[in-house]
Every structure is written in C-alpha cells, then in structure tokens.
C-alpha cells in the first residue's frame, strides 16, 4: 500500500466538478454561480438567491414572483410531523429534531425515483420552504407554546421570525435575517454539502440526502461553531480589559479559538465582513451588549497576534451575537444555518444527479494482514 496517496480530511482533493459555488480563500472571494456574495447580500433576497442556486441564473421579475409563490405554498408541514416533534424530549437538541423531521418528510412525500426531474424539483422546494416551519414548531413545542402556522403574506425570513416569536418583525430585523440566510446558503464542498452529495450519489431519496447533510452540519467543527463562539466568549472573556491577556494564554496553550480561522480562507471571511457591518447597525439601533464589545476587542487583539498566520474571523464569529440580539435561542443558531444551507445542499444534490457516479473512495489499511482465527474455547 506504499504508493497510496493518503490525504487526511481529503484536504485539497478534488472530488467533483461543480458550477454552483466558488471560493478563493487567498483573496477572500465567495461567489454563487459567479456572482460575488457582496452583491447578493446588498441587492438580492433569499428567495432570489435560492432560485439562482437551484437553476443557475437570476430570475426575471415574473419568474421570481412565481417561484416565491411556489415556496409559500409548501411551507406548512403535515400534522404527523408536528406529532413527531411533540414526541421528542424537550431537552433534545433542535438539530437532532430537525434531522428526524426532515427524514420523516420522505414518508409523507415519497420521492424514491430520483430520475423524475419534476418530482426532484418539488422535493427541493418543499425542503427549503418547510425547514423553517419545523425548527420554529419544535422550539415552541418544547416551550409548551402553540405552534404558529406560516403566514403566506410574509417573506421567507420574516415568516420564520414570526413562526418563532409570534410577532411580525420590523423591516430592519427582516432584512438582517434575510441577509444572514443569503450569506449561509452555499459554500462549496464543505462537510455537510459533501455528505449530502455522497448520500445523493447512491440515488437515495432527497429527504435522506438532506437529513444526512443536517447531521453533518450539527457537529461543533461545522455548523455548531456559532453556538460555541458565544459559550467561549462567556466562559473566557468576561473582562474587556483582559481580552488580550486571556487570548495570549489560549494561544500559548494551543487552545482552539472558536470563530477565528477557516479551513479555506487565509484572510477575513467575506461573509464575516458583511455580517459585522450589519451587526454594528443592529447594535446601534437596538442597543449594544457587553459581549459584542468584547468580541470586537477580541478581533482587534487576534489580528495583532494571529493575522500574520492568516487567522481572521469567520462567519460564525459575529452570527451568534446577531442571533442572540434578535432573541433567538443559542441552540437554534445551527438550525438557522441549516434553514439557509438547505438551498445549497439542494442545488448540489440536483447537480450530483445530472452526471452521477456513486462515491466510493478507497482507504489505507493499517490493521493486521495475517491474523488467525482462534476458537472461542481457546481465547
């Protein structure tokens, strides 16, 4: 096996061709279907971004209106899904509940024949439209509150906030959540997207593929990082005057600093730059918090100590602070990420099916090669 090229984590290994997302980590560039993320965050909406990701081009006004209507029509989930959510322990993590509910959707809306393009399109739209409903419903169920039905008069982002809180958000909050959804919608061959494509490559039904992606996203090294940023700030950075000292200690002990650094970006994550500006506007209009001030100080100190190594804030660094300010529970941060990323997952799933080949990498075997079986009486 000496000639096998072993690459831990598949770092740098090209596993597929894709026309969906492009990342230049050296220059901090992210594009969806060729369009810079900065332009989409400024000018687009999540609904329009979903259309772009799924179908490869920006829609006309008429196409977008029709597509938006399609999404709104499939936001509701069957009563059986709500029953499943009610049967789960209140203390369970929402990502586990989301994964279970997404998989269960496949029993209500079977799409086993993935050669059926119309059926695939319908499944992708249903997944994108209904995941906010599932997340909001589980949060309300676990709190003993009534589940709120979708409001078809609201945008995708505003409707999620409404189903979660029971209050229609103002324009600033709606737009902020909408931009957050745009920023998280796609990011190349990340772990969860790769997971979804691997499952999809077996020709499994779309609900299984997306449920697999949800499970992958739940890990603390992936989507769960935004939760851990807040936990880290609260646990270690309690005094703004000692941020530099605490950071230095963590660096010396080689501890992981959540929200700083990225496997791809060697400069500041462009999504973090966008989100930081919107966070500043939010905290200025709705009041700042000590944790936000500490986070800004931490970024400044980290730039001095780690910038030369290409370690800068990623999108998780500020997203949790924004979500918390909006009154969203900490353990809903990653489900909110999933509500957005399902757009990219669905686009990749559809792309995978266009020229499918099942993923079957090899391994480097490191075990014994000539072991003998020992009868149980002699062990």
For the annotated catalytic residues, the residue numbers are: 262, 316
Q: Which residue has the tokens 């982002």?
A: 157
Could you write out the three-class secondary structure of 1-35? CCCCCCCHHHCCCCCCCCCCEEEECCCCEEEECCE
Q: Which of 128, 28, 158 lies closest to 350, judged by CA?
A: 128
Other Cβ atoms within 10 Å of 68 Cβ, number: 18
- Are residues 318 and 264 in contact, defined by beta-carbon separation less than 8 angstroms? no
Comparing C-alpha atoms, which of 159, 142, 158 is closest to residue 150? 159
Instruction: Give the residue carrying structure tokens 């990502």.
Output: 95
* DSSP character string of 242-285: GHHHHHHHHHHTT---TTB--SS-SS--HHHHHHHHHHHHHHHH
Q: How does 14-26 read in b/e, with b if 16+ C-beta sit within 10 Å?
A: eeeeeebbbbebe
Q: Is the dihedral angle over the CA atoms 177, 182, 186, 190 positive or is it negative?
A: negative
Q: Compute the distance between CA of residue 346 and CA of residue 330 in angstroms, rounded to an integer.
A: 26
CA 81 – CA 104 distance, rounded (Å):
7
* Spatial CA neighbour of 344 closest among 155, 161, 180, 210: 210
Residues 140, 142, 145, 147, CA torsion sign: positive
């Amino acid at each position: 096996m000496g000639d096998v090229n072993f690459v831990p984590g598949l770092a740098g290994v090209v596993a597929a061709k894709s026309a969906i997302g492009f990342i230049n980590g050296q220059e901090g560039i992210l594009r969806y279907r060729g369009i810079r993320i900065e332009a989409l965050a400024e000018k687009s909406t999540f609904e329009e971004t979903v259309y772009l990701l799924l179908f490869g081009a920006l829609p006309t006004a008429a196409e977008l209106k029709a597509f938006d209507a399609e999404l709104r029509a499939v936001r509701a989930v069957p009563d059986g899904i709500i029953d499943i959510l009610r049967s789960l322990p209140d203390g369970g993590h929402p990502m586990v509940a989301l994964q279970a509910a997404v998989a269960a959707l496949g029993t209500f809306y079977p799409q086993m024949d993935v050669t059926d393009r119309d059926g695939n399109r319908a499944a992708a739209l249903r997944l994108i439209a209904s995941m906010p409903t599932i997340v909001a419903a589980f949060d309300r169920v676990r709190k003993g509150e009534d589940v709120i039905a979708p409001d078809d008069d609201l945008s995708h982002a505003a409707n999620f906030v409404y189903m979660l809180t029971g209050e229609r958000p103002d324009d600033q909050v709606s737009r902020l959540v909408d931009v957050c959804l745009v920023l998280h919608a796609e990011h190349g061959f990340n772990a969860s997207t790769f997971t979804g494509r691997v499952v999809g490559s077996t020709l499994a039904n779309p609900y299984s593929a997306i449920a697999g992606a949800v499970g992958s996203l739940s890990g603390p090294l992936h989507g769960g990082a935004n939760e851990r940023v807040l936990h880290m700030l609260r646990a270690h950075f309690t005094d703004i005057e000692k941020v530099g000292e605490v950071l230095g200690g963590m660096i010396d002990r080689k501890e992981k600093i959540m929200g700083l650094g990225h496997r791809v970006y060697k400069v500041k994550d462009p999504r973090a730059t966008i989100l930081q500006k919107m966070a500043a506007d939010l905290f200025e209009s709705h009041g700042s918090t000590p944790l936000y001030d500490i986070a800004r100080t931490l970024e400044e100190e980290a730039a001095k100590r780690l910038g030369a190594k290409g370690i800068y804030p990623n999108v998780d660094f500020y997203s949790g602070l924004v979500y918390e300010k909006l009154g969203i529970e900490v353990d809903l941060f990653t489900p909110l990420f999933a509500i957005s990323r399902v757009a990219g997952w669905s686009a990749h799933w559809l792309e995978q099916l266009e020229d499918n080949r099942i993923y079957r990498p090899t391994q480097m075997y490191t075990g014994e090669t000539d072991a003998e079986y020992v009868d149980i009486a002699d062990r």
